[in-house]
Structure 1
């Protein structure tokens, strides 16, 4: 098997969470490669002058000239902090995989991408609303808002879901409360834009949960970003509902003993039910 075929086989076997992580990591390291070329060939050019066009700015004037940045900022991370991308991708993999199993890849993508946008909007509004940010030239990157929307969406869907932290189990509700309060408290002490974006993502996660089965809401939000061939109105009917009683039973088991307690058949059943939705 040739290298090209091996790469294709590898990519085809990745789920949407793994693919998004791969794309984001590649984007993160791409500026390093550009800087190596610039250094070796003594090119008088700064790579950041290119990539800053993808960073979101709180300045409305800049936003007018790069409206795409309200989305693209979520795919870049701090080049000087490996922990920035590591923790975002770690949490995205952990919680994103749960959303993928329960609701399918469409919900996962919609929730993650719209969470990034919601975090960006919250950041822009806050920096133009509160006097403390007046006159500050600020820009922001990172997928934290999208990850935050996933965590809080799951929290409202199943607050008693237990996650394993070292040697003890913790209810997702308690983790979410801690994260939300931490972001609020940390605003005055640095990275205010990031913490505000997290809060925006959290609020969006709740709003998305409230409208989860409102197909008109979900489709209308994304129809601007989707091609016309994918703009179909979802309809609720008996075929869309796998077996709610069985699903509820499995979710109760997750709540009591965690996701890892499920059998292979139960995990597969949830995955198929999620794809139906």
Structure 2
């Protein structure tokens, strides 16, 4: 009545965050953040970015196999972005030495784990973890000498064993900390007839650390019957499964998996037991109370 214009109340940051989380693409989020300083400050917050990335995973540009990188093709929605990534950028030419020396072992969470025979110790390979899209890599330090020596002696005695090196899956926490976004962990596992040896490398510390205590029970497992060239590793519901061409496989359960994915080291366990070797493996999902294939 008095002609004065009433000011609209400010939109709470919590409501703004919910609105921005509903934007369909990261490009739209960038445009919104350019509108004003308060929007830009909210979008730049690490907690908000973690929530946005969880709802909007990075675009799928393609996949790797033993032959190299295969970009997404039309009619895939990210085919244009995939075509912008030149094959030369993803051939691991940025790694030390010749790219032909490296063998790709695993791809997980946008990182690639590769190895090559060691110069002086062919039994223990050089290992590197890299981000091929940004051409960044970290050469992992050698396995500690005392552990390497004990494993080498035991392998000579038993004349056989199984070894594997693999990336630890990212945690599934609702609000992972900032270091978890850029850090990674690698497990080095050697299975002998009488006991396993397991180490974890953390990019935060730059060191290998033994996984202790180990609970080990594999009744009737005979590694001498394994066809190691047919061994395949699978991951489901916090458990790793190794299946060979023989009649049995085995499971390794990271019972305290949060210890390995959140940076803590409070008594992680490895619990192992045989599983049948069948072409179609069924693993029950306790969290969702249903089976997974």
**Bin of the TM-score, shorter chain as denominator length:** under 0.3
The structure carrying a bigger helix percent of its residues is 1
More relative contact order, 1 or 2 (CA 8 Å, 6+ apart): 1
TM-score (norm 1): 0.25
